[in-house]
Amino acid sequence: MNQHFCIDLFAGAGGLSIGLEAAGFTCLYANEVSPAYSATLEKSHPNALVETGDIRLVDSASVRRTLQMNKGDLSLLAGGPPCQGFSVNAPIRSTDDQRNHLFRDYLRFVEEFEPKTVLIENVPGMLSFEKGQTVKEIIKALDQLGYAATVRILYAAHYGVPQMRWRAFILGNRLGVDPHEMFPIPTHFAKGRANFTKSLDGQNLVLPNDVVNDITTLPFTNVEAAIGDLPAIKASDSEVDSAKYISEPDNDFQRYVRSSSKRPANHKCSGLGPTNMERLPYIPQGGSWRDIPHDLLPEGMKRARRSDHTKRYGRLHPEGLASTILTKCDPHWGSYIHPNEDRIISVREAARFQAFPDHIQFYGSLTEQYQQVGNAVPPLLAQAIGTAILSAVFNRTSSERKLTPWHELQLSMVV
């Protein structure tokens, strides 16, 4: 069996490459600008060359020579250029934001390595940025370099990730394979509500709920299944080496995250002030700011309409999905209150909702640990994509076209 090598640019804490390696790739090189993120990367990728620094200053030819690779040897070049500039939540979405042009450095590596396949990840907001021109420019640039590429938006919960998380992926190859075959087929059913632009040039990029329902056989992974085996902690507790699981794994997800771990590292959470602590007992499972007595609400929220800020001060429901994990699990931002304890979720619990295996330890300050988890690609989602790429491009048993739901979506138009 041939070995398939990959490179991870803008690697963050390594969620993308962790998943790709679980699928069967071997990560040779990763670049990340943050020292704290790189510390996490180095520990989780001991056999890869991890380089810390601004990618704009990295000589791609020098990297290729260091890895002793010829052009065309690399199986996959993966990366997620910083998404803040593309995000619909960013305060300024401008072409003057230099972060929006870092994908050009990704393309430098494409030109230098000539990988067989390419993967670019970002937030769905990139589709509406400049009316989709950035995405079109990336696909056009890849085409000029010999790659057939396309973009789709995936819902992480469809692949066993216990979280409401949407991400856009551009996948392509230079081996003549239809890029639609490179996208993974959903395995878990969860209703997803897209609150973003989900089309490009009239073409839908998201699989409809009824299609997902027809092709999946598993229910989504809920909050209880994801974190129910983790010990209770208090907001003031420090993480200790003696922290232990409270039960044996009782579902496939727990068996997956615990397969190489003896204890739940990073099981520590940020503290809350006295006023916030006074609010939490009023919030039931699945509840939110609406359940807090009016006189205890923050001043700004006392004037809010009941239909506003639907997830603020939300307490997770054991039978539901976790909210999208952000870089700061602040109750004022959304549903980050533990389902049974009066505290916000810990770094490890956030990592569970992102489907990180427990043996992955996050380094840096507590703030940096939350940031690393929130910025990551869920490894289970990355594994699904990696498996689909290997199946479609490298492990083909026939030259026959493989029809998938993504081909049918290609033909659907936005009404």
256-278 tens-digit pLDDT = 999 999 999 999 999 999 999 99
Q: pLDDT, tens digit, for every residue of 145-175?
A: 999 999 999 999 999 999 999 999 999 999 9
Residue from 171, 155, 122, 53 nearest 381 by CA: 155
Decide which of 398 and 126 is more confident: 126
- Is 94 a residue whose pLDDT tops 80? no
The active-site residue out of 27, 83, 269, 329 is: 83
With contact defined as beta carbons under 8 Å apart, do 28 and 67 qualify? yes
Q: E-strand spans in 71-180?
A: 76-79, 117-122, 148-155, 166-173
Tally of domains in the chain = 1
Site of tokens 């076209």: 401
Q: pLDDT, tens digit, for every residue of 2-50?
A: 899 999 999 999 999 999 999 999 999 999 999 999 999 999 999 999 9
77 lies in some domain: yes
- Is 54 a residue whose pLDDT tops 50? yes
The whole-number average pLDDT for the span 364-376 is 95
pLDDT for res 256:
97
178 lies in some domain: yes
With contact defined as beta carbons under 8 Å apart, do 173 and 179 qualify? yes
Q: Is 83 a catalytic residue?
A: yes
339 lies in some domain: no
Q: Average per-residue pLDDT in the chain?
A: 90
CA atoms within 13 A on the CB side of 7: 27
109 lies in some domain: yes
> Percent of the chain scored above 70 by pLDDT?
91
- Please tell me the distance from the alpha carbon of residue 41 to that of residue 393, in angstroms, as a whole number: 27
Longest dimension (CA), the chain: 67
371 lies in some domain: no
Q: Per mean pLDDT, which range of 46-50, 62-66, 199-203, 401-405 is the poorest? A: 401-405
Find the domain containing 84 and state its range: 4-218+378-411
- Is 88 a residue whose pLDDT tops 60? no
> Two tokens at 35?
């020292």
- Is 295 a residue whose pLDDT tops 90? yes
pLDDT for res 398:
64
- Please tell me the distance from the alpha carbon of residue 373 to that of residue 43, in angstroms, as a whole number: 15
> Percent of the chain scored above 90 by pLDDT?
73
Contacts of 2 (CB under 8 A, 6+ apart): 394
With contact defined as beta carbons under 8 Å apart, do 167 and 154 qualify? yes
26 lies in some domain: yes
Look up the CATH number of the domain holding residue 116.
3.40.50.150
- Is 238 a residue whose pLDDT tops 60? no
Q: pLDDT, tens digit, for every residue of 97-149?
A: 555 568 788 989 999 999 999 999 998 888 887 788 888 888 988 999 999 99
In degrees and rounded to multiples of 5, residue 311 shows phi and psi of: -105, 0
With contact defined as beta carbons under 8 Å apart, do 115 and 76 qualify? yes
Contacts of 259 (CB under 8 A, 6+ apart): 357
Global pTM value: 0.93
236 lies in some domain: no
* Three-state SS at 337: strand
- Is 76 a residue whose pLDDT tops 80? yes
> Two tokens at 306?
């009941």
289 lies in some domain: no
